[in-house]
């Protein structure tokens, strides 16, 4: 029987530590601030934005929300980003993805100042992550690393397999595991003999976006299994990329969905915002 990795508990500790740090920063005249921009009325995006606002309130981070209608032009959105880039009250800027189809997501991301890019999606920050000389880490992969560390298991020397190659999760996830001396394989839709590769993984990270995609035969006995997926099953119930019931007795540690990676993503966003405030105020 595996141990459940409780993302809620790990994230609460991070947020509690941040609340103490934010209180100390405020005493010295620094008030970390986060601006969140949401375009359109995607229900999932609205839930994420509300959760981020709530986390800011819990920690003591100043937050502003910009809810723009779905017809907002790319030029209008970039103009808003550029205004926030020079707003001293705002240390971090987050544009909630996905954006409406008529807006080029990459153009918007590159308009964000790298110093305020708390998602770490700007090419400059991505480059720093590649060479291991970074200020900010992408929120989900960084949260995953915290969960792996919470198990007490060392990444060094382990066979690590990441299923998924997105710029947001898969690629940076592989780099973070590599930075800790894991031996990393990235799998994707064109990978042959996928089950054979994943079955050799000491640490398996599933970020493919398909409900219950990872089955028991794909998992090594005693592996650490991290499920980044957030899907709905045939009954409309939230589930991950891993068939939790089938895999939980085979893994040594496993994250649930919900309550695993999700809370860590928001906790890391808060951590990045506090770090951005310290950098911009020459405290780091």
Enumerate the active-site residues: 52, 96, 119
Tell me which DSSP letter residue 116 carries.
Answer: G
Alpha carbon 199 to its chain's center: 25
**HSE (side-chain half, CA atoms, 13 Å) at 11:** 25
Q: Which three-class secondary structure string do you get for 21-71?
A: HHHHHHHCCCCCEEEEEEECCCHHHHHHHHHHHHHHHHHCCEEEEEEECCC
Contact 202, 230 (CB under 8 A): no
State how beta strands 238-239 and 231-232 pair. Answer: antiparallel
Listed residue (254, 258, 266) closest to 237, CA to CA: 258
Listed residue (41, 47, 116) closest to 72, CA to CA: 41
Q: How far apart are CA 161 and CA 152, in angstroms?
A: 19
């Amino acid at each position: 029987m595996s141990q459940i990795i409780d993302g809620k508990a790990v994230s609460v500790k991070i947020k509690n530590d941040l609340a103490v740090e934010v209180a100390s920063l405020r005493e010295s005249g620094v008030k970390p601030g986060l601006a969140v921009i949401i375009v359109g009325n995607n229900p999932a995006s609205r839930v994420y934005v509300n959760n981020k606002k709530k986390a800011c309130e819990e920690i003591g981070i100043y937050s502003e929300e910009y809810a723009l209608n779905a017809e907002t032009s790319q030029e209008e959105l970039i103009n808003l980003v550029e205004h926030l880039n020079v707003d001293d009250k705002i240390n971090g800027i987050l544009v909630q993805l996905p954006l409406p189809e008529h807006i080029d997501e990459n153009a918007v991301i590159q308009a964000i100042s790298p110093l305020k890019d708390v998602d770490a999606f700007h090419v400059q920050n991505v480059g720093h992550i590649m060479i291991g000389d970074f200020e900010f880490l992408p929120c989900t992969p960084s949260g995953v690393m915290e969960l792996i560390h919470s198990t007490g298991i060392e990444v060094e020397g382990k066979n690590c397999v990441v299923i998924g190659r997105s710029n947001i999760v898969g690629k940076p996830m592989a780099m973070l595991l590599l930075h800790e001396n894991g031996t990393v394989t990235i799998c994707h839709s064109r990978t042959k003999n996928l089950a054979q590769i994943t079955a050799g993984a000491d640490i398996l990270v599933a970020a493919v976006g398909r409900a219950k995609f990872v089955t028991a035969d794909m998992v090594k006995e005693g592996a650490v299994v991290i499920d980044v997926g957030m899907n709905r099953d045939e009954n409309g119930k939230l589930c991950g990329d891993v068939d939790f019931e089938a895999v939980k007795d085979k893994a040594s540690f496993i994250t649930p969905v919900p309550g695993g990676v999700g809370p860590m993503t928001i906790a890391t966003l808060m951590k990045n915002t506090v770090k951005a405030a310290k950098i911009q105020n020459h405290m780091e």
